[in-house]
Chain A
């Protein structure tokens, strides 16, 4: 039973792992890599937003901190990139815990929490702009050294497997969360925090764990970004773009589900690529499209595409039971 719960993840990961064997176009591989990257970032948001119900509008703060942590550790301290990745996850978690401790202690909820996360992302962007060790506004360059020991790969397939492994890890963590007391507590807080507290849930602590986990996971996405592009600047790492992507992907796919972010990322970036021909490179036009998508989703499919799938399944189930009833009645008569 328990292993069975992880079967879909194994199948999906296995299927995705086979793709590089058939996909040789660099363009397509690049598309898949970025899609998985945003699925990972979206999963991070999903844990805090979809499970614990705390909507962040500043997940770039974790993404950027992970990216900068791994870059600066490598460049200034000569830390091995694999080790730096682990440390960067800890940095992301720490930033999460700090923001969480400050905002949850003062009972910030809903849009106030969203605003404070947005503000933190901006503050971090400005700090990255002015500090020396981040390279300031001109950014930071990770030296090219294409060796797996260096967390850099000669062909795109190597990067693809790395991001796939990270994404698969995030799926497993989310599934484990779904089957655990911690996950049940998060959902309870999302649904009704007062009730949750009345039932003995330390809501401050649970939300703190959620944002720490979410921060570390988003930092993993940042680490991958840094290794893949080998360049960061404050506008990229802490820009509003990643904050928007992080929340859009799970909202489209289905908040509080395991596969929602992955599906959402494929749909969002599929649409994005498909319409790129239409919008040309007009700056901001794809953001307008994202906005429109967000409104449509929240208006008509608040449970996301996973919710739609559940509905279709439910209707099928109802139809089958009704049919069975009819057959039974016919048999009785």
Chain B
């Protein structure tokens, strides 16, 4: 459904994204992991049309969308959320979600109705009339998700929707995300919470210093020495293996 080919993005002397190839098959949950500063969010901004890649192409649903502006990408059915949540602060939760719903529903009444339905889907029905600023971090993350869902996307890009949540809140949101996928929406997510990555994803890409260093099923990727080294430093994989051998 989504194909990135040789995508690169440069900021001055820094190659933030370096020749990335990435595929997301329809109906799957694909995760993108990697240490801080690896270029995950930059890759998202390029995929979603917030920035134009310096090289490479992005294809979505059979169409070349390279360089298409963000709102047009959203209209085609690919929507992103923000790692640092960006609610419409002075609007209520219902109005926030309705903004997303308006993409496919011109009438105000229809959009507000849709907002209510989407809020129920992500467990926000009780908060519909609260102003967005009054929400907790977990609430704001959910709102971010709800607004994106309200645009009725085919592909959802989630940028760390679990960051800043406590374990109980994470346990609540994991089934919500799974239910979204089961509802027919493909998902690409950036996540640091490995427990969630392991349980949710069908396929995992690991990005380090702008390059994909590994990809495959999450369990295999987590055991990949190159991935362990990216997270824990050079030689870490060898040391861990030695330690395990000593134990055995």
B82 touches A194 (CB 8 A): yes
* Residue B121 lies at the interface, judged by CB distance under 8 Å to chain A: no
* Residue A188 lies at the interface, judged by CB distance under 8 Å to chain B: yes
**How distant is the Cα of A184 from the Cα of B90 in the complex, in angstroms?**
12
Which stretch of A106-114, A150-158, A200-208 is in the interface? A200-208
B79 touches A181 (CB 8 A): no
A191 touches B89 (CB 8 A): yes
* Residue B148 lies at the interface, judged by CB distance under 8 Å to chain A: yes
Residues of B within 8 A of A179 (CB): 108
A195 touches B86 (CB 8 A): yes
B71 touches A181 (CB 8 A): no
Which stretch of B19-27, B97-105, B176-184 is in the interface? B97-105
Number of interface residues of A (CB under 8 A): 19
Give the nearest-CB partner of B85 in chain A. A195
**How distant is the Cα of A188 from the Cα of B100 in the complex, in angstroms?**
10
Give the nearest-CB partner of B76 in chain A. A200
B88 touches A198 (CB 8 A): no
Residues of B within 8 A of A187 (CB): 88, 91, 95, 99
B82 touches A195 (CB 8 A): yes
Give the nearest-CB partner of B107 in chain A. A181
**How distant is the Cα of A279 from the Cα of B160 in the complex, in angstroms?**
59
Known: A195-B88, A199-B74. A188 touches B48 (CB 8 A): no
* Residue A311 lies at the interface, judged by CB distance under 8 Å to chain B: no
Q: Using a Cβ cutoff of 8 Å, how many contacts connect chains A and B? A: 77
Residues of B within 8 A of A197 (CB): 50, 69-71, 74
Number of interface residues of B (CB under 8 A): 32
B148 touches A199 (CB 8 A): yes
A199 touches B99 (CB 8 A): yes
* Residue A80 lies at the interface, judged by CB distance under 8 Å to chain B: no
Q: Which of A192, A200, A202 contacts B79 (CB 8 A)?
A: A200
Known: A181-B111, A199-B99. A191 touches B79 (CB 8 A): no
* Residue A180 lies at the interface, judged by CB distance under 8 Å to chain B: yes
Give the nearest-CB partner of B70 in chain A. A197
Known: A199-B74, A199-B99, A199-B100. A184 touches B79 (CB 8 A): no
B108 touches A198 (CB 8 A): no
Known: A181-B102, A185-B99. A203 touches B71 (CB 8 A): yes
* Residue B75 lies at the interface, judged by CB distance under 8 Å to chain A: yes
A198 touches B48 (CB 8 A): yes
**How distant is the Cα of A198 from the Cα of B148 in the complex, in angstroms?**
8
12 contacts between A and B (CB under 8 A): A187-B99, A188-B91, A188-B99, A191-B91, A194-B50, A194-B82, A195-B87, A198-B50, A198-B81, A199-B100, A199-B147, A201-B103
